[in-house]
Structure 1
């Protein structure tokens, strides 16, 4: 059994929930290159060796269209119907329903719920998840308070933010084997968190304001080897309460990252999906959903990506 999952908390908890729900003992779990929306040669080699595949929390339907093995594709992002008859696509969006996270889709599909289901939702939609009764109930059962839940998400995310793909994949087994209180004290992840928080604050200190016709948009540029771009965007929109933010990491391991996030109240005014499609048509490596897009590109293409976003604004 091969499990291919996203590198963030939602992807890691979705993988852990699938493994526990199916009582799997013989499995391999892998994540794509952090920050890149593609299956690399390493993943393709694993696909060749396996009999059955699960793809979790990865908005990459195009990557499974040619797979000739049984594949279960579970996700919650907006995407097209997969045509490959070997692929069973489980995504409530296709039926006009919205789920806060892939972990919720996984738990619903397998009828298997625990605190990891809640952490996946918190990881994807932040503090809004605490207004979901199911999230509150699952955390209460596990005796986890709000502060602890938020820290658990940050600890799990620290593996991808520090760009440690191996640690991301190891994290699946760690969250399966350890109790929540043990995870909160896990030394390696806590050290990561200290370094990350310093980098995020340095980026936030460079904030600029762009007043467009319909929204108050923040603009942030920085350079960092850490994959903090989504954390910077969430903090700007969720904590500083901007309508949206464009964040640019100008030197991310030789490439650039551009990230655009809007607040939930702006989804009727700004169609992020249209921007994603526009950039995808221009052959950019991009992913996202109705409130967010993320793009990794060559440094020379930063202006093209930003101009495309600004044209929509």
Structure 2
């Protein structure tokens, strides 16, 4: 059995689907981690024990991958150390100082397979800026998808993880593989969920504070909307960056810190991530963004660290 462990967002889902299509996999299981946590839980560990080969797609867990004892293909685009485990083949342009906006592009380039999924991974990770990438527009045009339809497809796919439905995230790979991309715009389970989430995001954006050009918003919700809120604040509303805190998310606290492209030149996000990890938080990210999950009593200490960079 081939096991695919992938991130829970559109880029992770499309990267997994591209891998299946490129390798013509039939006997495979795809799994995502506990949503919001960058680690292999017991369920994934047991699955790895029974797998003959492991694929880790768009999931920034180099520490976990370093410890695996089966043949592994690790494809990613996040900043991470080079893996020393001889059983692991690591494909990541960031190791050579190259920036790729999505893992889907890395997968497509590695296997030579390009379709709308390749483009949707980029749209999922960087939003409307994806349309500045010529290859993205070319792939969408080839499959007759407009920019608005691409953005809507990302909203639909991401609704699964935002609702914290791990099973639906995993099922999304099969849905993507079995249906035409345009047909997914009318896939009722995703449409219903996405519309409910959209209403919640609009309510959250109505309570934003500002400091030195950075947006700060705190709220409580069972929906995992912090990344969506941060993107809206930075990409659409023009803030230098956004600090978004969900103070009661299924008994935990979440912190999401996203900065503009310009601020990413000034702020060492890897440094911020390491400092947050010293608090015992579960934190991961890349050049322009980090996500942190911690106990509710640690969120104020985590917030103080991030606020040091809002100058």
> TM-score by structure 1 length?
0.97
* 1:171 partner SS: helix
Structure 2 residue aligned with 1:161 = 162
Q: Say if 2:234 is the partner of 1:237.
A: yes
- The aligned counterpart of 2:100 is 99
Match of residue 223 from structure 2: 226
Which one of 250, 255, 260 corresponds to residue 253 of structure 1?
A: 250
Pairs within 5 Å for 1:189-200: 189-200=190-201
Aligned-residue Cα RMSD (Å) equals: 0.8
**1:33 alignment partner in structure 2:** 34
Aligned to 1:2: 3
1:23 is displaced (CA, Å) by 0.4
Equivalent pair of 2:279/2:302 in contact (CA under 8 Å): no
User: Can you give the 5+ residue segments of structure 1 that lack an aligned partner in the other structure?
Assistant: none
Partner residue, 1:206:
207
Query: What's the offset of the Cα at 1:283?
Result: 2.6
Aligned to 2:73: 72
Give the drift of 1:281: 3.0
Deviation per CA, 1:207-258, whole angstroms, max 9, x where unpaired? 00112xxxx1111011100101100000011111100111000110000100
Query: What is aligned with 2:115?
Result: 114
Q: How many residues matched?
A: 309
2:168 corresponds to 1:171 = no
The match for 1:82 is 83
Q: 1: CA distance between counterparts of 2:156 and 2:252? A: 26
Looking at structure 1, the residues matched to 62 and 253 of structure 2 have their Cα atoms a distance apart, in angstroms, of 24
**Structure 2: 5+ residue stretches without partners:** none
Runs of 4+ aligned residues of structure 1 deviating over 6 Å after TM superposition are: none
1:221, 1:310 → 2: CA distance?
A: 14
